[in-house]
């Protein structure tokens, strides 16, 4: 009897915050009287105890138990029967302190379900967690001089990509076994990391990271570029390590690095376990619960869910796989029951293996699953943004190569489109199109990922035998069978997929399942409300293309031509226009350099005349090209009691007439000798990273909280400022900023000049006859 066998026992569990682990904890508490659970939990920002409460006890899987027991009794059981100890299986002795070790020592059963289940972990990370984790666990037992019953959760896929039977036996006993030394594999993985880290720091690589950073951010200033470059380097290292893991697994016939490291770990534990009795439980693909405690419970998004959702959304029009192939899925409650039943068995000296899989005893074919999914989304379609139902495609199984090629082709086309659009001088609404392309690209990226990663599982034609499992099932009393059902033959596939799993996926996926407009306000309206909240303190604005559609070149040209005779005006403007390409190039590279060189043109300009003309320019150029909605926004902030600040690289005399709009203006200034300007700037102009620094200092000196600050800007060169504040707003963003803002959930505003604005072909000052 399982209950009697385990009652009052102390059981340690690793990986209890995971999908399977949480189900295990729930089932044990619900069914085994007085069981004592020691949960080894990695502490992060939260302590182990906090994580247990937040990630396990508060999960909705406990709802049934809570209702059965009442809140008080439930809290009492949690309090008395669960002990959380901080542990980290990537450290020796699991990082346990002496108290922790003592508690571990007192456990009679240890269920090891901690693993990095991601199919594309970096090689070394997968090795440290999946392979070395259990080895460290066993070593700890040895050091503590104990031999608890170790129940280790593995996976059916340790058998590798193969066709035909895969029995419940040790891998070394398999005729297909490829002799490998797990120590060598571990060392090799660690060396690979060192090698890749070195390679990432080689000059050509660093240069290419910096180039990519610049092309992504534009002239965002040195610190922002540096941060981005380092991010790109780290991402590159990770990608290399993922690739290394994928390749190593592939070379050995495993579908991915997870199966590979799990296989290695079975071998390693078998080798080092000594007298510790070992039971291996190998589930296939674990999905939402069949019955207990409720049907359709799932935690996180697993393997099949994103595929199903993308199919429902129409992103994935085809999928690899063989229609007559078998999809080996097993509901999580069956796996948890099997583990507990296995743990309750009298340990033997030789390793016992149970495979928890459906493929051999209650198979379901890929084509049947896809039929269910197709008809499910036919009846319950997902709706797109325009409230149109999305018709599900019929999968034709063209083979993985064709599917991948098709996806890659779309990806390439979108990539070209994006590159081209990024180079165009567009902003605002058209630039948002680029952000949309980015979204589409991300979706296809994911689809490609699913196809490459999960495709192998759908194509796997191995049949995992479950003789041991069924023997165990038959040995159970009727009562145990009732409490711990794990016989895969009980699954009614139509009921499970159509009425339990798919509705769960749709609910969890938070997709639109009805054509009604989403209740409440749109996302931008919500963020706008936050931005226009009296609680905010400071609203900072960029000028050019944020509030007006003009720039330093136009204002200079206006002032320079205002008092010139006609012929000379034309000559000067033509000359300036000819220089535009080189100015643009310099501007793109470094805006400060550009301004510095451009402002030289003011050398010897008479101060008083410029001051006079600046007011006329305010009407003729600045206001004429202003965005009324932008100016209105400044005033709204002011009315809300926010301090409004203009930070601009434009010159002080140009922006002086805007003074009543803002509480403060921080601008570039030219030095002068009283009569005329020297053409040299008095300080570094407040743009790029300097703008962020100026803002920080301003906030500091005036006691404002940057987290309560709103910043409006239009270009990636303003990223340092936008990133420094709590409420960044991208105004008429250029394509790069548009996609960035879109991804980060920033408010995007499109302020436009009002229709009817006087249009001047050239920014010439109107003649005065004085």
Partner 1 sequence: MADERRRNPRPGLVLEVDRSTPPALFHYGEGFRLEKLPAGRSRILYPPEPLPGLNNPDQHIRDALENPLGDSPPLSALLTSGMKLTIAFDDISLPLPPMRSPDIRQRVIEAVLDLAAQHGVDDVHLIAALALHRRMTESELRHAVGDRVYDAFAPSGNLYNHDAEDPEGMTVIGITPHGEEVQINRRAAESDLIVYVNINLVAMDGGWKSTATGLSGYTALRHHHNPQTMVQSRSFMDQENSELHKSNWRQGKVLKESGIQIFQIETTVNNNTFGHDGPLAMLQKREWEWTLRDRATFIGYQTGLRRMNPSTKRKIFSSWYSPYELTSIQAGEVEAVHKQTTEHVYKQQLVNVEGQTDILTMGIPYICPYNVNSVMNPILVACLGLGYFFNMYRGKPLVRKGGVVIMTHPTPWEFHPVHHPSYIDFFERVLSQTKNPTEISQRFEKAFAEDEWYRHLYRTSYAYHGVHPFYMWYWCAHALDHLGRVIIVGGNPDAVRRLGFRPATTLHDAFEIATDVVGSQPTITHYHSPPILMADVQ
Which residues of this chain interact with partner 1, rule CB under 8 A?
A: 615, 618-620, 623-626, 628-629, 631-632, 635, 657, 660-661, 753-759, 768-770
To the nearest whole angstrom, how small is the minimum distance from the Cβ of residue 654 to partner 1?
Answer: 15
Q: Which is nearest to 242 in space by CA: 360, 380, 133, 123?
A: 123
Q: In angstroms, rounded to a whole number, what is the distance separating the alpha carbons of residues 605 and 679?
A: 8
Which SS3 state, helix, strand or coil, does residue 553 take?
helix
Decide whether 279 or 626 has the Cβ nearer to partner 1.
626
To the nearest whole angstrom, how small is the minimum distance from the Cβ of residue 749 to partner 1?
Answer: 14
To the nearest whole angstrom, how small is the minimum distance from the Cβ of residue 661 to partner 1?
Answer: 6
To the nearest whole angstrom, how small is the minimum distance from the Cβ of residue 576 to partner 1?
Answer: 24
To the nearest whole angstrom, how small is the minimum distance from the Cβ of residue 757 to partner 1?
Answer: 5
Decide whether 275 or 759 has the Cβ nearer to partner 1.
759
Contact 597, 546 (CB under 8 A): no
Using DSSP bridges, classify how beta strands 709-713 and 727-731 pair: parallel, antiparallel or unpaired: parallel
Contacts of 769 (CB under 8 A, 6+ apart): none
Q: Is 329 exposed, middle or buried (0-12, 13-18, 19+ CB in 10 A)?
A: buried
Decide whether 416 or 632 has the Cβ nearer to partner 1.
632
Contact 720, 728 (CB under 8 A): no
To the nearest whole angstrom, how small is the minimum distance from the Cβ of residue 715 to partner 1?
Answer: 23
To the nearest whole angstrom, how small is the minimum distance from the Cβ of residue 648 to partner 1?
Answer: 18
To the nearest whole angstrom, how small is the minimum distance from the Cβ of residue 621 to partner 1?
Answer: 10
Q: How many other CB atoms sit within 10 Å of the CB of residue 488?
A: 27
Contact 564, 558 (CB under 8 A): no
Angstrom distances, CA of residue 127 to CA of 54, 183, 184, 648: 28, 10, 11, 52
Q: In angstroms, rounded to a whole number, what is the distance separating the alpha carbons of residues 15 and 153?
A: 10
Contact 353, 282 (CB under 8 A): yes
| Residue 261 CB-half CA count within 13 A | 32
To the nearest whole angstrom, how small is the minimum distance from the Cβ of residue 659 to partner 1?
Answer: 8
Decide whether 464 or 541 has the Cβ nearer to partner 1.
541
Decide whether 89 or 622 has the Cβ nearer to partner 1.
622
Q: In angstroms, rounded to a whole number, what is the distance separating the alpha carbons of residues 690 and 608?
A: 29
Contact 604, 677 (CB under 8 A): yes
To the nearest whole angstrom, how small is the minimum distance from the Cβ of residue 631 to partner 1?
Answer: 7
Contacts of 288 (CB under 8 A, 6+ apart): 295, 296, 297, 298, 331, 332, 500, 501, 504
Contact 135, 269 (CB under 8 A): yes
Q: Can you say how many angstroms the Cα of residue 659 is from the centroid of all Cα atoms in its chain?
A: 43
Q: In angstroms, rounded to a whole number, what is the distance separating the alpha carbons of residues 310 and 294?
A: 26
Decide whether 567 or 761 has the Cβ nearer to partner 1.
761
To the nearest whole angstrom, how small is the minimum distance from the Cβ of residue 635 to partner 1?
Answer: 6
Q: How many other CB atoms sit within 10 Å of the CB of residue 402?
A: 13
Decide whether 303 or 617 has the Cβ nearer to partner 1.
617
Decide whether 386 or 770 has the Cβ nearer to partner 1.
770
Residue 697 corresponds to which tokens in the numbers above?
């200092």
Query: Alpha-carbon torsion 702, 707, 710, 714, what sign?
Result: positive
To the nearest whole angstrom, how small is the minimum distance from the Cβ of residue 768 to partner 1?
Answer: 7
Decide whether 627 or 704 has the Cβ nearer to partner 1.
627
Decide whether 204 or 756 has the Cβ nearer to partner 1.
756
Decide whether 657 or 726 has the Cβ nearer to partner 1.
657
To the nearest whole angstrom, how small is the minimum distance from the Cβ of residue 628 to partner 1?
Answer: 4
Q: In angstroms, rounded to a whole number, what is the distance separating the alpha carbons of residues 693 and 650?
A: 17
Contacts of 434 (CB under 8 A, 6+ apart): 418, 421, 422, 735, 738, 739
Contact 192, 124 (CB under 8 A): yes
To the nearest whole angstrom, how small is the minimum distance from the Cβ of residue 728 to partner 1?
Answer: 24
Q: In angstroms, rounded to a whole number, what is the distance separating the alpha carbons of residues 480 and 344?
A: 11
To the nearest whole angstrom, how small is the minimum distance from the Cβ of residue 426 to partner 1?
Answer: 21
Q: In angstroms, rounded to a whole number, what is the distance separating the alpha carbons of residues 80 and 82?
A: 6
Ordered alpha helix ranges (H), 82-128: 98-105, 123-126
Q: In angstroms, rounded to a whole number, what is the distance separating the alpha carbons of residues 341 and 327?
A: 25
Decide whether 144 or 762 has the Cβ nearer to partner 1.
762
Decide whether 471 or 639 has the Cβ nearer to partner 1.
639
E strand segments, 64-124: 82-86, 109-112
Q: In angstroms, rounded to a whole number, what is the distance separating the alpha carbons of residues 439 and 133?
A: 38
641: alpha, beta or left, given left = phi > 0 and alpha = psi -120 to 50? Answer: left
To the nearest whole angstrom, how small is the minimum distance from the Cβ of residue 727 to partner 1?
Answer: 22
Is residue 601 within a helix (H) or strand (E), and if so which, with residue range?
A: none
Q: Which is nearest to 292 in space by CA: 352, 340, 225?
A: 340
Decide whether 164 or 756 has the Cβ nearer to partner 1.
756
To the nearest whole angstrom, how small is the minimum distance from the Cβ of residue 694 to partner 1?
Answer: 24
Q: In angstroms, rounded to a whole number, what is the distance separating the alpha carbons of residues 349 and 278?
A: 8
Decide whether 578 or 755 has the Cβ nearer to partner 1.
755
Residue 160's φ and ψ, nearest 5 degrees, are 85, 175
Residue 317 corresponds to which tokens in the numbers above?
């029009």
DSSP state of 623: I
Decide whether 674 or 756 has the Cβ nearer to partner 1.
756
Decide whether 365 or 528 has the Cβ nearer to partner 1.
528
């Amino acid at each position: 009897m399982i209950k009697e066998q385990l009652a009052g026992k102390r059981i340690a569990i690793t990986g209890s915050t995971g999908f399977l682990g949480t189900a295990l904890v729930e089932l044990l508490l619900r069914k085994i009287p007085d069981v004592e659970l020691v949960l080894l939990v990695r502490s992060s920002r939260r302590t182990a105890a906090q994580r247990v409460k937040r990630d396990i006890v508060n999960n909705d899987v406990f709802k049934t138990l809570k209702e059965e027991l009442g809140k008080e009794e439930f809290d009492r059981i949690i309090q008395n029967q669960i002990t959380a100890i901080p542990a980290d299986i990537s450290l020796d002795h699991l990082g346990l302190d002496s108290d922790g070790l003592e508690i571990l020592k007192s456990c009679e059963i240890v269920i090891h379900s901690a693993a990095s289940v991601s199919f594309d972990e970096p090689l070394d990370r997968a090795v440290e967690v999946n392979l070395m984790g259990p080895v460290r666990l066993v070593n700890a037992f040895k050091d503590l001089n104990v031999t608890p019953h170790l129940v280790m959760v593995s996976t059916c896929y340790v058998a590798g990509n193969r066709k035909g039977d895969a029995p419940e036996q040790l891998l070394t006993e398999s005729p297909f076994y490829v002799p490998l030394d797990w120590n060598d594999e571990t060392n090799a993985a660690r060396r690979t990391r060192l090698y890749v880290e070195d390679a990432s720091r080689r000059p050509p690589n660093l240069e290419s990271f910096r180039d990519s950073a610049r092309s992504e951010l534009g002239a965002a200033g040195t610190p922002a570029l540096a941060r981005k470059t380092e991010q790109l380097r780290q991402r590159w290292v990770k990608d290399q390590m993922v690739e290394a893991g994928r390749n190593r697994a592939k070379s050995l016939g495993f579908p991915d690095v997870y199966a590979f490291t799990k296989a290695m770990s079975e071998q390693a534990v078998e080798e080092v376990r000594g007298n510790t009795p070992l039971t291996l439980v190998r589930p296939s693909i674990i999905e939402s619960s069949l019955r207990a405690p409720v049907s359709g419970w799932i935690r996180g998004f697993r393997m099949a869910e994103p595929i199903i959702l993308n199919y429902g959304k129409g992103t994935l029009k085809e999928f690899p796989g063989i229609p007559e192939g078998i999809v080996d899925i097993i509901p999580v409650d069956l796996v948890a029951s099997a583990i507990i039943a296995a743990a309750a068995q009298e340990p033997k000296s030789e390793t016992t293996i149970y495979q928890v899989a459906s493929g051999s005893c209650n198979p379901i074919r890929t084509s049947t699953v896809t039929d269910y999914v197709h008809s499910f989304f036919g009846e319950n379609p997902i709706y797109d943004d325009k409230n149109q139902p999305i018709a599900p495609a019929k999968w034709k199984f063209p083979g993985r190569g064709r599917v991948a090629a098709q996806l890659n082709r779309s990806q390439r086309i979108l990539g070209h489109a994006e590159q081209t659009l990024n180079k165009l001088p567009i902003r605002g609404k058209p630039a948002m199109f680029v952000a949309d392309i980015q979204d589409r690209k991300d979706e296809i990226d994911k689809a490609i990922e699913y196809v490459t990663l999960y495709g192998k599982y759908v194509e796997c034609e191995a049949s995992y035998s479950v003789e041991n499992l069924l023997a165990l099932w038959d040995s159970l009393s009727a009562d145990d069978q009732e409490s711990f059902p794990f016989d895969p033959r009980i699954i009614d596939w139509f009921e499970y997929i159509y009425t339990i799993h798919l509705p769960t996926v749709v609910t969890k996926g938070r997709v639109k399942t009805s054509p009604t407009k989403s209740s409440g306000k749109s996302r931008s309206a919500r963020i706008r409300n936050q931005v226009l909240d009296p609680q905010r303190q400071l609203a900072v604005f960029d000028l050019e293309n944020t509030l007006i559609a003009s720039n330093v070149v136009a204002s200079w040209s206006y002032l320079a031509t205002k008092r010139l005779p006609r012929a000379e005006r034309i000559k000067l403007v033509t000359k300036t226009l000819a220089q535009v390409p080189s100015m643009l190039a310099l501007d793109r590279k470094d805006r400060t350099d550009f301004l510095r060189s451009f402002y030289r043109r003011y050398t010897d300009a008479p101060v008083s005349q410029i001051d006079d003309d600046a007011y006329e320019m305010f009407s003729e150029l600045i206001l004429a090209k202003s965005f009324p909605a932008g100016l209105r926004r400044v005033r709204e902030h002011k009315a809300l009691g926010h301090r409004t600040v203009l930070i601009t690289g434009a010159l002080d005399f140009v922006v002086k007439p805007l003074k009543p709009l803002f509480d403060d203006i921080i601008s570039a200034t030219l030095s002068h000798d009283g009569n005329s300007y020297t053409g040299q700037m008095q300080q570094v102009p407040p743009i790029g990273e300097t703008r962020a620094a100026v803002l920080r200092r301003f906030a500091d000196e005036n006691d404002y909280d940057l987290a309560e600050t709103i910043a409006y800007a239009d270009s990636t060169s303003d990223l340092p400022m936008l990133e420094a504040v709590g409420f960044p707003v991208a105004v008429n963003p250029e394509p790069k900023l548009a996609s960035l803002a879109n991804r980060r959930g920033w408010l995007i505003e499109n302020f436009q000049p009002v229709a009817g604005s006087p249009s001047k072909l050239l920014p010439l000052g109107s003649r005065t006859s004085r």
